[in-house]
Amino acid sequence: MPRTRGRAPDGKARADALSREIIVGAAVVLLDEFGERGLTFRLLAKELNTGPGALYWHVTNKDELVALAADEVLGHALAAAPRPEEGAGAELRALAVAVFDALDRHPWAASHVNAPPTLANALHLLDRVGTLVARTGLPAERHFAVSTAISYYITGVSAQIVAPRANATTSRDAFLTQTAERWEELDPADYPFLTHTTTDLRDHDDRDQFTTGLDLLLDGLNTTAGPRPPA
């Protein structure tokens, strides 16, 4: 495994007792408990019973560590995603929901699972989406555009829904109530939709919101990939 530093400040033996996988796994646990702001190398070193210098032997900085931890969360989602027998469309939906659920359990990770993908599991997600899209019967020249659109929806919309909770100073219900109250104060002539949907904003389910858009996207894929009527 390539190391990111030329030496181990706390001793080579101690550094070699660790691994990037162990460090990232411990970081996930601490991020779940303390959030991104609360994670420090000093806290992580204490958790692993080592010195902060030994961590830098494997991980360059906190940004890299959080990105690797988010990719670890994504990897668990990919491994846990069911593979239904109904076809590629059903498997795409199950995969997308598994990713959303994983990010919902680890809100700090949502904004770090971004497109274009660069880390291993983010690349696996795009590749798996593309492989499934190719199985739908969609013309080959549409595979890239459709696959990236679905992949970007999965990660991007999940981040839009989940990420705000990671740094929120209030509960989700309180945040939605405050937002609904602001919408209610808008002029209905200028904002006819927002002023009439405040109850839905307060009561909506995040997962349902995600799957509603996902199903619209997949329904469009099924229509495009399906057999066309004769001219």
Range 167-204 burial, b when 16+ CB lie within 10 A, else e = eeeeeeeeebeeebeebeeeeeeeeeebeeebeeeeee
Q: Does some domain include residue 78?
A: no
Q: Flag whether 193 is in a domain.
A: yes
Both 101 and 215 in one domain: the answer is yes
Q: How far apart are CA 201 and CA 86, in angstroms?
A: 33
pLDDT tens digits, one per residue of 116-171: 788 999 999 999 999 999 999 999 999 999 999 999 999 999 999 998 877 777 78
- pLDDT by residue (tens digit) across 157-208? 999 999 887 777 778 888 889 999 999 999 999 999 999 999 999 999 999 9
Residue 145's domain is classified under what CATH number?
1.10.357.10
Residue 168 lies in a domain: yes
- Please indicate, yes or no, whether residues 212 and 159 belong to a single structural domain of this protein: yes
**Would residue 71 count as lying in a domain?**
no
Same domain, 56 and 90: no
Q: What is the pLDDT of residue 31?
A: 97
Q: What is the CATH classification number for the domain harbouring 8?
A: 1.10.10.60
Which residue range(s) make up the domain with 17? 1-60
Do 32 and 141 fall into the same domain?
no
User: How many domains are contained in the chain?
Assistant: 2
- Is 110 a member of any domain? yes
* Pair (55, 155) in one structural domain: no
142 and 216 housed in the same domain: yes
Whether the Cβ atoms of residue 57 and residue 8 lie closer than 8 Å to each other: yes
Domain match, 120 and 219 both: yes
Q: Mark whether 160 and 207 lie in a shared domain.
A: yes
